[in-house]
Amino acid sequence: MSDRKPVGEDTVDARQVNAQKSDDGVVQIDNGVVQVDAKPHSDVFQYNMNYSSVGQCVVINNKNFHRKTGMGIRNGTDQDARNVMETFSKLGFKVKISNDQTISQMKDLLTKVSKEDHSQSAMFACVLLSHGDDGRIYGTDDSIELKALFQLFRGDCCTSLVGKPKLFFIQACRGSELDAGIEADGDSDGETRRIPVEADFLYAYSTVPGYYSWRNVAHGSWFITSLCEMLSKYGKQLEIMQVMTRVNHKVALDFESSSNLPGFDGMKQIPCIVSMLTKELYFHK
C-alpha cells in the first residue's frame, strides 16, 4: 500500500483500396484504404519528426454540466488543463484549450481541426477531460460516442495526418465498477504503400472498460497528473509506450482514493493504453 497521503477528496468522472496521389499532392482514398507516398527515413521503425511543427494539441476541458445530464461539477479539472498546457507546450505542441463544450461544439471543433492542413506537422494530439461512460464522453449537455470523434482523424477523413501519430488521452469514467486492489509481493525505402485507415492511433484511457476514473478535487486527476509528470521527465528520452508504461505504474502504485462516500475509500485505478501505432514514437527530433 502506498505511503502517499492524499490532500483533498477524490471523486469520479461518471454518474453515481486503393489510393493514389494526384499531381497536386493530394492523397486519394477508396474502399477504406489509404495510399501513402512515404518520405525515405533513416529508421523505418520510427516516426519521422523532421517537420517544422510537432503539431497541435487540442484540449477539451468540461467542468460544468447542464442539470439534465445529472452530472456534477468536475472540480480539479482546471488543474489538469493547466498541467497539460505546460507539459505539451514544452514538448513542442501548439496547445489550445476549449472549456465547457456541448457535444455539438466538441464535434464541430474537432471536425474543423481534422479538415486543416497538417502537412507540416509531425503528429496530432487531443486531450479530453470530462465525465464519461464506456465508449462515451460527455459534453456539457449530453454524451457522444468517442468513436464519432476519433473517426474524424481516420486516414480517409484527414489525409494530411496519414502515416502520422494521432494521440488521444481520455480522462473520463468508463463505467461504475470500483477496483479495491489486492496485496501483492514486490519485487523506409520510399515505395508507395497501402495502410489501414485506422492505423497510427494511440488511445490512452485513464481507466479500463467498466470502471470509475478518479480525480482529486484539489490536484486534478490521477491519470493526467501522472501523464504530465512522466512526459515531463521522460518525454524526450523514451519511446511513447515506455512513457505510458511508467504512467500505468505510477497510477497503479502511487494513488489510493480518499473519500467520505461509503465504499469509495481506498480504491485503486489502472489506465488502459490501446495502440495502433505502426512505429516507435520519440518526441525528440
pTM, two decimal places: 0.86
**Domain definitions of the chain by residue range:** 55-180+194-276
Cα–Cα distance for residue pair 133/210, rounded to 1 Å: 8
pLDDT at 30: 46
pLDDT digits (tens, 9 = 90+) for 160-187: 999 999 999 999 999 999 999 988 765 5
pLDDT at 195: 87
pLDDT greater than 90 at residue 24: no
Q: What is the average per-residue pLDDT within 213-237? A: 97
pLDDT digits (tens, 9 = 90+) for 88-110: 999 999 999 999 999 999 999 99
Cell for 205? 484511457
Q: Is 41 designated active site?
A: no
pLDDT at 2: 47
pLDDT at 26: 45
Cα–Cα distance for residue pair 266/245, rounded to 1 Å: 23
3-class SS string, the chain: CCCCCCCCCEEECCCCCCCCECCCCCECEECCEEEEECCCCCCCCECCCCCCECEEEEEEECCCCCHHHCCCCCCCHHHHHHHHHHHHHHCCEEEEEEECCCHHHHHHHHHHHHCCCCCCECCEEEEEECCEECCEEECCCCEEEHHHHHHHHCCCCCHHHCCCCEEEEEECCCEEECECCCCCCCCCCCCEEEEECCCCEEEEECCCCEECCEEECCCEEHHHHHHHHHHHHHCCCCCHHHHHHHHHHHHHHHCCCCCCCCCCCCCECCCEEEECCCCECCCCC
From 57, 158, 173, 228, the catalytic residue = 173
- What percentage of the chain reaches a pLDDT higher than 70? 85
Beta bridge partner(s), residue 175: 210
From 126, 131, 158, 228, the catalytic residue = 131
Cell for 195? 495502410
pLDDT greater than 70 at residue 281: yes
pLDDT at 246: 98
Q: Is 173 designated active site?
A: yes
Residue 285: pLDDT band by 50, 70, 90 thresholds?
A: low
Q: Burial code of 195-205, b = ≥16 C-beta within 10 A, e = fewer? A: bebebbbbbbb
Interior angle at CA 122, CA 165 and CA 279, nearest 5: 40
Residue 8: pLDDT band by 50, 70, 90 thresholds?
A: confident
pLDDT at 83: 98
- What percentage of the chain reaches a pLDDT higher than 90? 79
pLDDT digits (tens, 9 = 90+) for 188-198: 455 667 889 99
pLDDT at 18: 45
Dihedral of alpha carbons 88, 218, 110, 195, sign: positive
What mean pLDDT value characterizes the chain? 89
Q: What is the average per-residue pLDDT within 140-147? A: 98
Just give the CATH number of 55-180+194-276: 3.40.50.1460
pLDDT at 139: 98
pLDDT greater than 80 at residue 120: yes
120, 56 Cβ separation under 8 angstroms: no
Q: Would you give the distance in Å from CA 119 to the centre of its chain?
A: 21
pLDDT digits (tens, 9 = 90+) for 246-269: 999 999 999 999 999 999 999 999
Cα–Cα distance for residue pair 282/41, rounded to 1 Å: 14
